[in-house]
Structure 1
Amino acid sequence: MKRPVILICIDGAGTDYFKRCSLPNIDRLCREGFCSWSSHAMVPTVTNVNNVSIITGEYPAEHGVFTNCYYEVEEDREVYMESPEMIKSETIFEKASRSGLKSVLITVKDKLRTLLSYGVDESFSAEKPARWVVDYIGRPPNIYSSEVNLWIFKGAEAFMQKFSPDIIYIATTDYIMHKYPPESPEARRHMRLLDEGIGLILDEYPDSVIGITADHGMTAKKTAIDLEKVLAGKGVKAKVVPTVKDRYLPHHSNLSGSAYVYLKKIEDVEKAYDILRDVDGVEEVLTATEASQRFHLPQEKVGDLLVLGEVDYVFGTLTSGVIEDVDLRSHGSLHERVIPTILYGVEREGEIDENRLLAQIALRGLEIV
């Protein structure tokens, strides 16, 4: 039997979270393997985009998932990118299956389990756990807790004992990162729990190939702007969709460090560009062509403009006014792009400067060309 390949995506774990407390198991992986604190996530820095890049090894332009939620112009509706049919590239799970290998997928959020599940032999989420797992390790804690991430590592250990998979993908949740900065007692406790979970796997399978990264970092946000209202006040009709938008409102209130702008009239592009560029808190405005070329995004889907925020600004729908003071932690901008990459049990070939490159590590560990 080949050594199992274990990929772990620690949701929202910018490198600053790893520097605030003792993490003996992660330290061991770094000491005996390879560790980079300056890898990069895909842009926009949101969960769905980056997890799909990790399991395909591709940029969003190739695999097709470019946000958590987008606006379908012809149907006049917002669409959550949660269906596996939206992924256009072959995943590591599908490649493993073609080679006669077994795969397991374990997540906290069921939306992510659904999105990533194509080609997987066995999967479950903390939101919708397998009955036998609950019988074996107990019911999962609330998904808005620190403990739920440790629980899925225990579930992963149980799955490995029961199914002996060749590859397992574990995706945690970033609720604590959304609520607490790295230096807080809550965040440090959470990181110790994650380290404990990683230790369970490492102790049981010391000869495994392990790859750890994140989908994005997290920063504090102080000001929210309703870009749709900004444009409307200047006579430009548009639909603005924050890239983090999903069904998990306690995390970020659907306020994102970036947003796609879909204009009602294409002839308003230049006017909208000039309006948004002059808004305080807007760091960059890119046309669809510019966004596609710079961040490898599918040009035909990203609307007419991509707006990127300064470090402490977010964009989204506000109930009153155009600008509001906020006190939250979120992501989506360029300021949450730097993430860790940790490799263990496999030789590094070249730079591992993007999280998507973990797919290559997995295939090498599985001896799939």
Structure 2
Amino acid sequence: MDHQDTIMTELHASAVSVNGRDYSFPQVPTVVICLDGSEPGYIEAAIKAGLAPNLDRLMKNGANLLAKCVIPSFTNPNNISIITGRPPQVHGIAGNYFYDRTTGQEVMMNEARFLRAPTLFQAFHDVGARVAVVTAKDKLRTLLGKGLDFSTGRAIAFSAEKADKATLKENGIDDLLAFVEKPLPTVYSADLSEFVFASGVKLLRAFRPDLMYLSTTDYVQHKAAPGTPNANSFYAMLDRYVALLEAEGCVLALTADHGMNDKHKPDGSPDVIYLQDIFDDWMGHDKARVILPITDPYVAHHGALGSFATVYLPQSADTPSVINRLRDVEGIELAISNAQACERFELPADRIGDVVVLATRHKVFGTSASRHDLSGLTEPLRSHGGLTEQTIPLLVNRRVDWPADREPRNYDLFAIALNHVVLKHIA
């Protein structure tokens, strides 16, 4: 046994501590997939239609659990929770978008400087592991890849959206389109997620990472309900890649960042509560500031309409009275103070407003009607953000010994995959 073999044997026997949780070093490659917007009904419908035999086998013979995502049920806070193993109160990412009180500016929370906790990838990479991170949309790449040293040859992180721009220096890999053997996908397509899965298969074979994270886009889920032809086609595609990934002998674990629901009226138009207009009527123009943390550059997905909003009030406002008034608005499921929201949802107090508001299942929030460009919504709106999009699947292709009386969170998935699997492969 040479020196490198000795080091790796020691690593395999050790635990890595990240954000107060211990994780065993993987004995085989461990692949975690975050299926963006994937409520449990999507997989169930594809299996019922006979289009997902590999997922069916996995669910019957491996671990098939229901989990809860973090609130707000949006992409960034949940992906970061999964890869830090902790809720937003610890890692600091409370949405895609927030109001920075210190600068007085509304900003996207995509930059690594906003992340307050190390990722599992950084921690494992620092002790010698090989890690790979592939995202669909580039908005997550810098957050997920924070702390990785690509010059070591043991780290790769890139997005499908900008695969043509990947370099060894910035991403740990170049000539990516030739490597994956697929053309650059368009951002508004199922092809963007398929590029992620195809990349994962290639990386398992050529790079053999100890840990790999594959994060998709919810383009299909925003447009197609479970059981519809487009949705079933997407999950049939996923099923094919599940077989290819499993063929490489990995522990494969899947969850979602959030679910998805119809958010439209019978005529197909979005069912929106325009909160900024309501506050302007109550308090005067722009006295309060409504922030929609779903906001990101991909307006064709959701038109910046989601079921979670946060409100910054003027100093003179009577917050309890405002909350009581909000609770009387039809379509509002929950209105609570900053302190209550931080306690209930484990959120960072400085990155949410004075009031947090969640909508009922089929409602979404907007700011003002005049501020939303809904021209990209070519189908009746489906969106997320509230409590009704919190239930998600959690699947592993091994039996697990997770306690039956403890409801898992999506951010428990790496702990489950690394600490709680029975390493005998399913039949």
Instruction: Give 1:43's aligned residue.
Output: 71
The whole-number CA distance in structure 1 between the counterparts of 2:399 and 2:157 is 25
Q: Is the partner of 1:20 in helix, strand or coil?
A: helix
Q: Is the partner of 1:267 in helix, strand or coil?
A: coil
List aligned pairs for 1:117-128, cutoff 5 A: 117-120=145-148, 121-128=155-162
The whole-number CA distance in structure 1 between the counterparts of 2:318 and 2:137 is 38
The whole-number CA distance in structure 2 between the counterparts of 1:321 and 1:341 is 37
Q: Deviations over 1:149-169 (max 9, x none)?
A: 222111111222232211100
Q: Deviations over 1:237-282 (max 9, x none)?
A: 2111112111110100000101010113253323322332221111
* Offset, 1:352: 5.2
Q: Does 1:270 align with 2:304?
A: no
* Offset, 1:345: 3.5
* Offset, 1:28: 2.2
The whole-number CA distance in structure 2 between the counterparts of 1:148 and 1:224 is 29
Among 256, 277, 302, the alignment partner of 1:252 is 302
List aligned pairs for 1:216-295, cutoff 5 A: 216-222=258-264, 223-235=271-283, 237-265=287-315, 267-295=317-345
Q: Is the partner of 2:380 in helix, strand or coil?
A: strand
The one-letter amino acid of 1:358's match is L
Structure ranking higher in strand proportion: 1
The one-letter amino acid of 1:138's match is K
Q: Is the partner of 2:106 in helix, strand or coil?
A: strand
Q: Does 1:330 align with 2:355?
A: no
Instruction: Please give the TM-score of this superposition, normalised by the length of structure 1.
Output: 0.92
Equivalences, count: 362
Instruction: Give 1:113's aligned residue.
Output: 141
* Contact in 1 for aligned 2:222/2:383 (Cα 8 Å): yes
* Contact in 2 for aligned 1:146/1:193 (Cα 8 Å): no
Q: Deviations over 1:166-223 (max 9, x none)?
A: 11000010001001111211111111111122222112x13x1111100000000021
Call closer, same or farther: CA 1:354–1:31 in 2, change over 3 Å: same
Q: Deviations over 1:64-100 (max 9, x none)?
A: 1111111112322111111222222221112211321
* Contact in 2 for aligned 1:68/1:243 (Cα 8 Å): yes
List aligned pairs for 1:127-276, cutoff 5 A: 127-129=161-163, 130=166, 131-136=174-179, 137-203=181-247, 205-206=248-249, 208-222=250-264, 223-235=271-283, 237-265=287-315, 267-276=317-326
The whole-number CA distance in structure 1 between the counterparts of 2:371 and 2:254 is 42
* Contact in 1 for aligned 2:292/2:304 (Cα 8 Å): yes
The whole-number CA distance in structure 1 between the counterparts of 2:75 and 2:408 is 18
* Contact in 2 for aligned 1:285/1:305 (Cα 8 Å): yes
Q: Does 1:56 align with 2:84?
A: yes
Q: Greater CA radius of gyration, 1 or 2?
A: 2
* Offset, 1:321: 10
The whole-number CA distance in structure 2 between the counterparts of 1:73 and 1:268 is 19
The whole-number CA distance in structure 1 between the counterparts of 2:400 and 2:369 is 52
* Offset, 1:346: 5.9
* Contact in 1 for aligned 2:135/2:159 (Cα 8 Å): yes
* Contact in 1 for aligned 2:36/2:215 (Cα 8 Å): yes
Q: Is the partner of 2:283 in helix, strand or coil?
A: coil
Among 414, 421, 427, the alignment partner of 1:359 is 414
Instruction: Please give the TM-score of this superposition, normalised by the length of structure 2.
Output: 0.80
Among 11, 14, 18, the alignment partner of 2:36 is 11
* Offset, 1:112: 1.0
* Contact in 2 for aligned 1:12/1:214 (Cα 8 Å): yes
Q: Does 1:33 align with 2:62?
A: yes
Q: Is the partner of 1:229 in helix, strand or coil?
A: helix
Instruction: Give 2:98's aligned residue.
Output: 70
The whole-number CA distance in structure 1 between the counterparts of 2:228 and 2:397 is 29
Provide runs of 4+ in structure 1 moved above 6 Å.
none
The one-letter amino acid of 1:272's match is V
Q: Return 5+ residue gaps in structure 2 as ranges.
A: 1-7, 9-26, 149-154, 167-173, 265-270, 422-427
* Contact in 2 for aligned 1:71/1:241 (Cα 8 Å): yes
Call closer, same or farther: CA 1:97–1:89 in 2, change over 3 Å: same
The whole-number CA distance in structure 1 between the counterparts of 2:316 and 2:159 is 42
